[in-house]
Structure 1
Amino acid sequence: MTGPTGPTGLTGLIGPIGRGRPTADRVPAGTVAPGEQVLPGYVVVGLLGHGRRMDTYDALDLDRDCRCVVKVLRADRRDEPRVVEATRREGEVLRELAHPHLVRCYEVHDQPPGLVLEVLGGATLAALVEDEPLGLADAAGLGLQLVSVLGYLHRHDWLHLDVKPANVVVDAGRVTLIDLSLAGRPGEGRPGAGTRGYLAPEQARGAGLAPATDVWGLGVTLVEALTTELPHGDEATWDSRPRRRLLHRRAPRPPRLPAGLVPDGVRDLLLGCLDPDPGARPTLRDVRRALEPHAHP
Structure 2
Amino acid sequence: MTGVPASAPTPDPAPALDPGDRPAPGYEVLGHLARTGWLDVYDAWSEDRACRCVLKTVRPDRRDEAPLRGRLLREGRWLCAFTHPHLVRGYDVIRTPDALVVLETLTGETLAHLLHRLRRRPAATDVALLGVQLCSAIHYLHGRGLLHLDLKPSNVVVERGHAKVLDLSVARPPGPAPPGLGTPAHLSPEQARGGELSAAADVWGIGGTLYETAAGEPPFGRWTATGPDAVAGAGAGVGPSAGPGGRAGAAGGASARGTDTPYPDGPAPPLSARRRLPRALADAVDACLSPDPRRRPTVPELAAALGAVAHRP
Q: Does TM-score exceed 0.5, indicating one fold?
A: yes
Give 1:296 deviation, angstroms.
4.7
Aligned partner of 2:147 in structure 1 is 159
Higher percent of residues as strand: 2
Cα drift, residue 265 of structure 1: 2.3
Among 169, 186, 190, the residue aligned to 1:198: 186
Matched, 1:292 2:272: no
Indicate if the aligned counterparts of 2:267 and 2:290 stay in contact, CA closer than 8 A.
no
Q: Residue 168 in 1 paired to residue 159 in 2?
A: no
Q: 1:72-114 CA distances to partner (integer Å, 9 max, x unpaired)?
A: 1112222223222211111111112111111111111223112
In structure 1, the partner of 2:49 is 64
**For residue 112 of structure 2, what is the aligned residue in structure 1?**
126
Within 2, Cα distance between the matches of 1:85 and 1:205?
Answer: 25
Find the partner of 1:280 among 295, 305, 308.
295
Alignment of 1:29-68 (within 5 A): 29-68=14-53
Aligned equivalents of 1:52 and 1:236: distance in 2? 16
Compare CA radii of gyration and give the structure with the larger one: 2
Please name the residue that 2:256 is paired with.
244
C-alpha distance in 2, partners of 1:217/1:199?
7
- What displacement does 1:261 show? 1.6
1:100-131 Cα deviation digits (max 9, x unpaired): 11111111122311200001011111111114
Letter aligned with residue 55 of structure 1: D
Of the candidates 245, 252, 255, which is equivalent to residue 269 of structure 2?
255
RMSD of aligned residue pairs (Cα, Å): 2.6
Task: Give the Å deviation of 1:194.
Answer: 1.2
For 1:268, the equivalent position in structure 2 comes to 283
User: Given residue 55 of structure 2, which amino acid in structure 1 is its aligned partner?
Assistant: V
Tell me, what secondary structure is at the counterpart of 2:223?
coil
Secondary structure of residue in 1 paired with 2:219: coil
Could you say what secondary structure the match of 2:267 adopts? coil
- 1:139 Cα deviation from its structure 2 partner: 0.7
1:187 pairs with 2:175:
yes
| Separation in structure 2 between the aligned mates of residue 272 and residue 236 of structure 1, nearest angstrom | 24
TM-score by length of 2: 0.80
In the alignment, structure 1 residue 75 sits paired with structure 2 residue 60: yes
Q: Does 1:115 align with 2:101?
A: yes
Q: How many residues are treated as equivalent by the alignment?
A: 271
**What runs of 5+ residues in structure 1 fail to find an aligned partner?**
1-25
- CA–CA distance in structure 1, aligned partners of residues 178 and 101 of structure 2: 23
* DSSP-derived class of the 2:57 partner: strand
SS class of match (2:269): coil
Shift of the 44–226 alpha-carbon distance from structure 1 to 2, 3 Å rule, reads same
Cα deviation per residue 1:27-71 (whole Å; 9 max; x = unaligned)?
A: 984211111112222111100011112111111111211111111
Q: Which moved more, 1:113-122 or 1:201-210?
A: 201-210
| Cα contact 1:57–1:71 (8 A) shared by 2 | yes
Q: Does residue 135 of the first structure (1) align with residue 147 of the second (2)?
A: no
How big is each residue's C-alpha offset from its partner over 1:250-280, in whole Å with a ceiling of 9 and x where there is no partner? 9533223245622222222211111111111
1:228 CA drift (Å): 0.9
Q: Where in structure 2 are the equivalents of 1:227-238 lying within 5 Å?
A: 227-235=215-223
Percent of aligned pairs with the same amino acid? 43
Secondary structure at the aligned position of 2:191 is classed as: helix
Structure 2 distance, partners of 1:122, 1:27, is 31
Q: TM-score, normalised by structure 1?
A: 0.84
Determine if contact 1:204/1:237 at 8 Å carries over to the other structure.
Answer: no
Distance 1:103 1:246, change over 3 A: closer
SS of residue paired to 2:100: strand
Spell out the pairing of 1:17-28 with structure 2 (5 A cutoff): none
Query: 2:131 aligns to what SS in structure 1?
Result: helix
Contact 2:193/2:258 (CA < 8 Å) preserved in 1?
no
Structure 2 Cα separation of the partners of residues 170 and 28 of structure 1: 34
Mapped contact 1:138–1:296 kept (Cα < 8 A): no
Contact 2:176 2:197 in 1 (8 A): yes
Q: For the Cα contact (< 8 Å) 1:201–1:238, is it kept in 2?
A: no
Letter in 1 for 2:188: A
Unaligned runs of 5+ in 2: 1-10, 228-252
Task: Give distance in 2, aligned partners of 1:183 and 1:252.
Answer: 27
Once the two structures are overlaid, the 10-residue window that deviates more, 279-288 or 229-238, is 229-238
Q: Distance in 2 between matches of 1:196 and 1:115?
A: 25
Q: Secondary structure at the match of 1:152?
A: helix
CA contact (8 A) 1:199 1:237 kept: no
Instruction: State the distance in 1 between where 2:152 and 2:63 align.
Output: 27
1:5 is matched with none
SS of match in other structure, 1:188: strand
Does structure 1 conserve the Cα–Cα contact (< 8 Å) formed by 2:267 and 2:289? no
